[in-house]
Amino acid sequence: MRYRFLGSSGLLISRITLGTMTFGAPDWGCNEQEAHAILKRFLDGGGNLIDAADVYAGGRAEEIIGAFLQEIPREQVVLASKC
């Protein structure tokens, strides 16, 4: 995985961001178990930047991410969220 600094903040982020728009979307997305597997695989591959928004799957995506974050050291992830 390649990384870059986020502006002048000193925060090192992966150059690939994992989008979570499909997490918890009942008709065309993935369920919580599948989303957690995707998140784990992304982190195992060296990624650390996760994109979320309060509107993804009606807020369900952020709930799924929140449950996953309880299982890992929080400093492993940079979470970018929009509202």
User: Is it the case that residue 35 has pLDDT exceeding 90?
Assistant: yes
Four-CA torsion 42, 48, 53, 54, nearest 10 degrees: 90
- What does the pLDDT read at residue 57? 96
Domain ranges of the chain: 3-82
Output the pTM of the full model.
0.93
Angle at 29 between CA 74 and CA 26, to 5 degrees: 105
Which residue type sits at 8? Answer: S
Which residue type sits at 23? Answer: F
Helix axes 60-69, 32-44, angle to 10 degrees: 50
User: Is it the case that residue 83 has pLDDT exceeding 80?
Assistant: no
| Catalytic residue check, 56 | yes
Which residue in the list 14, 20, 35, 56 is annotated as catalytic?
A: 56
pLDDT-derived band at 82, boundaries 50, 70, 90:
confident
